[in-house]
Structure 1
């Protein structure tokens, strides 16, 4: 089959790789109809995620049709149209039973790598390094789906493929940030990043009752998109002091909930950008945490900060004093999609959650390396590139 393979830093190619098959009784094989890029994939290209090997198939957001099931799969049949959660959970360990699906104890078959890096191993992820299990990713014609009863979700008839695709990762990640960040009626919420996950976090905050949602980015087309499709206010951080602007918009108090949806390669303006870039390139710090710093400093006293962006290691100049003295609640997680995906698909079916606008560019899988170039450089207003294995 065809698949998009990581070949080294900033090198991708479409190659022929072996077709997947049933390895365990709870597996399914899905024929991919659509897959999409994600900002966290760019960290793979930049060489910031360890334990990648040449030839690894990448991509963790995909939708397709089940073509084969193992003997212990109970909830699915061949022919079902399903969206697959990017995080893999077994459904029976302590973490899965407590709705902490991305922390699954049984879905990472190569835990030693992650234990060395992180202290504990998280659950598996499709196409995201051998530290996360070494699973083949979704930018392919077919994908093996372990624990299919817990990771694949039927798409309602009224929801088109392009909309449902974003229930794989972007929509549940954004919803989790708003939900576990504690957004409630009357809150003012600030979201750093207007990519797909940031936009979904902003929409989730509105649906959870926030009085105002303010989104922060520097790309005009993304700021316009979040105003038009999400109904949030927008701040261009390249033209203003974000902290001062947020204080002015909140009567001097600051947002109740701050959601960081940028990750380890966050950009900024001024000396801190050069400081972080130099230290990251020299590997004196692994991640650039400028958006996290801003969120901690901007959040009101006693407020909540949720870190949604992908991080892999250490950061410098974290404002621990501000966090402690302001009495902030700071949480983070890789998305627990199984907890949210069925509900999100129902919202899509009712028209309350719109995601199709995120797919700004669509192309055959054969053109995926160019699609990532477009996505990485944000050319032509690209928010997400979507790939079709069948062209």
Structure 2
């Protein structure tokens, strides 16, 4: 069997650095260990297509908790984390055409070349074939994803955005120029979670009158409900185990029908309102939230990497002929997936990392016009120095924490 040859990335991953001008950044140092380093050399232009961004706002994503808890392979001590960030262009390489010093920009979490088959023809920028040389990911998946900022060496080992400065390669492809007169909080989430919420609805083909059930009331789940309502959905159910998250969502989106799966049987509650079940089920949970003793044991001993519990409940609950959208991050293998029910019920399942660049033009206009308001998820704001505390309360579901914004 022929093996794929891993192409050399179109730009070098390791940046040139300025040791004379250290910066602050958040580094991963093991399971449940993130630290602020105040003496990390700041990045320099390394390739003519680079831009250096002075970060004004960055945030902690639910996907970052997979790293924090040690569920994402390929992490190395000292890796700079974070993939949601925006700021001001500090410097640009000679080949950058669309941006100049002083421009206000949002960066995509995914790093795309714009020229490969997947970027140019399919517009699947998170499947870019030229920005991630990981042989490990190729062995695991049969192919590689694009490179992602701050998200392990499985996705390229690119330094992340929870820092004062970030090098953005292929800047013309991976930056979005944004208005000067809008606050960071309105724009920051164009880096990931707002496009991801839109992508969740795209994968599920949510349209007028569709009944939608969303598993996970974290930031992406809440914004997925917000987007579903904008797209004309009928009933929108939001499922979680924490009342404070459900109450937060309900207070900002009165149309939401919250369900606490620890207190109520999800299938029974939804089928009481919708005898056939919802048209669309969205998985905004992902890999490491195992609840059954069986799945916890199998994960602990390495018999599976992820739990199928949410997917099984969606398969069971969605109507026959319904659609399943997976935007919660999964890393590898699950056991006990109810593939029989999936097949016999004539369901469709789609998933994928979000190609932010595909959605930027329409989403920026919707945010500018007030049609979408991503700030509904923000609960905490502070400095980069508080990141250790913020990671802890976000992971431990303390202090009503749903979304953290940090300002370096």
TM-score range, shorter chain: over 0.9
Question: How many angstroms apart in 2 are the aligned matches of 1:375 and 1:323?
Answer: 33
Q: Is the 8 A contact 1:264 1:312 kept in 2?
A: yes
The yes-or-no answer on 1:74 pairing with 2:93 is no
Alignment check: 8 A CA contact 1:266 1:289 kept: no
In structure 1, what is the equivalent of residue 243 of structure 2? Answer: 220
Report the equivalent of 1:166: 189
Question: 2:370 corresponds to which residue?
Answer: 351
Contact 2:104 2:180 in 1 (8 A): no
State the alpha-carbon separation in 2 of the partners of residues 266 and 126 from structure 1: 24
- 2-structure distance, mates of 1:370, 1:147: 33
> Could you list the per-position Cα deviations for residues 10-59 of structure 1 after superposition, in whole angstroms to 9, with x for gaps in the alignment?
11111122211112221111011111111111111221111111100000
Structure 2 partner of 1:104: 128
Q: What secondary structure, in the 3-state scheme, does the structure 2 residue paired with 1:233 have? A: strand
Counterpart of 2:78 (choices 41, 55, 65) is 55
The correspondence for 2:263, drawn from 239, 243, 248, is: 239
- Consecutive unaligned residues in structure 1, runs of 5 or more: none
Distance 1:379 1:259 in 2: 25
CA distance in 2, matches of 1:164, 1:275: 42
1:337 to 337, 356, 364: 356
| Cα separation, 2, equivalents of 1:182 and 1:357 | 23
Shift of 1:275: 1.6
Which residue of 1 is the match for residue 20 of structure 2?
Answer: none
Counterpart in 2 of 1:126?
149
* Distance (whole Å) between structure 1 residues aligned to residue 100 and residue 260 of structure 2: 48
Match of 2:34 in 1: 12
Q: Contact between 1:125 and 1:135, CA under 8 Å: does it hold in 2?
A: yes
1:346 CA drift (Å): 1.2
Return 5+ residue gaps in structure 2 as ranges. Answer: 1-22
Q: CA deviation at 1:158?
A: 4.3
Task: Kindly report the root-mean-square deviation, in angstroms, between the aligned alpha carbons of the 2 structures.
Answer: 1.2
Matched, 1:266 2:285: no
User: Equivalent residue for 1:30?
Assistant: 53
Q: For residue 133 of structure 1, report the CA deviation from its aligned partner.
A: 0.6
How many angstroms does 1:267 deviate by? 4.8
What does residue 205 of structure 2 align with? Answer: 182
Q: Secondary structure at the match of 2:45?
A: coil
* Residue in structure 1 matched with residue 13 of structure 2 by the alignment: none
Contact (CA 8 Å) 1:85, 1:167: kept in 2 or not? yes
User: In the aligned structure 1, how far is the partner of 2:259 from the partner of 2:366?
Assistant: 28
Write the distance in 2 (CA, Å) between the matches of 1:63 and 1:43: 22
Instruction: Give, in whole Å, the separation in 2 of the partners of 1:84 and 1:297.
Output: 38
- Residue 289 of structure 1 and its aligned partner are, at CA, apart by 2.5
* TM-score of the two chains, using structure 2 as the length reference: 0.92
**Aligned 8 A contact 2:277 2:319 in 1:** yes
Is the Cα contact below 8 Å between 2:44 and 2:167 reproduced in 1? yes
Q: Secondary structure at the match of 2:391?
A: helix
Q: Deviations over 1:248-307 (max 9, x none)?
A: 111x10110100001112254xxxx22211211222110123111111111111110011
User: Which residue does 2:12 correspond to in 1?
Assistant: none
Q: Give the aligned partner of residue 3 of structure 2.
A: none
Question: Deviations along 1:79-134, whole A, 9 cap, x unmatched?
Answer: 111111111111111111222110001111x2212112221110010000011010
Deviation at 1:215, TM superposition (A): 0.8
